[in-house]
Amino acid sequence: MNSNTQTTNILVVGIGGQGVMTASEILSEAAISQGYEVKKTEVAGMSQRGGVVSSHVRFGPKVLSPEIAPGEADILVGFEAAEAMRWCHYLRPKNGKTGGVAMINRLRLTPPIVSLGLFDYPDNPVAAVRSQGFEVHDFDAGEIARELGDLRLVNTIMLGAISDNLPFPAETLKDCVVTRFRAKKPALAELNARAFDLGKDAGKK
C-alpha cells in the first residue's frame, strides 16, 4: 500500500483467456464491499487470440486516476511468467524491508509477437524479476488447477495467492469469488473455495 495516499495499486497481467479481467473485477467488488473507492482500467490487445492483457486496479479512500504509474504497484499478479517480467518495472522498489510483491504463475505461453518472430521468449522470466530485488512468489497455478480438475480455476488460485497482501481480510475476497457460483452452481462454489485456499497457501511460499 502506498503510505502517502493509502491507495492500494494492483496490476494484473497475462494472456487472453486466462481470466485476467475476471480477476480484476472480483478484486474491485471486494474493495467496494469494504467501502473503498475503486478505479479500474484494462487493455486487451487481441485478447481473444491469446494476446496480452493487463488490468490496473486502484482502491482507497479517494482515487483520482485508474492508471498505475511505473514504480507504484503494490502487487503484480502475473498469470504468465514473461508478462510478469515485462511489467515488473511497475512494482514499487524495495525501501528498507518493504516494497512491491510479485505473485507469478510459472506458466509459459507464447504470445503472437513471439510466434511471429518479433521477440524472443526470455530464458527465465521469474529469475529476471527476482534479480531486480523484488519480493517474488512463484508457483504453478495450472498444476494446482489440473489437480482440482478444472483449468478455469487459475484466476481463483491467483486471487487466493495475493489475498494475504491486501488491506482487508482474505475471507472478504474469497466470499466475492464463491458468491459468483453459490446461487446457481453450488458444486463450483465449493471447488472455487478450495482453489482459493490452495492459492493462498501457494502464495506464502
Residue 184 is predicted with a pLDDT of: 75
Residue 3 is predicted with a pLDDT of: 42
**How buried is 121 (Cβ within 10 angstroms: 0-12 exposed, 13-18 middle, 19+ buried)?**
middle
**pLDDT under 50 in the chain at which residues?**
2-4, 47-48
Residue 158 is predicted with a pLDDT of: 98
Residue 104 is predicted with a pLDDT of: 98
Residue 51 is predicted with a pLDDT of: 74
Grid coordinates standing for 164?
494475504
**How buried is 148 (Cβ within 10 angstroms: 0-12 exposed, 13-18 middle, 19+ buried)?**
middle
Residue 186 is predicted with a pLDDT of: 84
Give residue-wise pLDDT tens across range 47-72: 445 578 899 999 999 999 999 999 99
Domains of the chain (ranges; CATH) run 8-109+130-203 (3.40.920.10)
d(CA 177, CA 122): 33
Residue 4 is predicted with a pLDDT of: 41
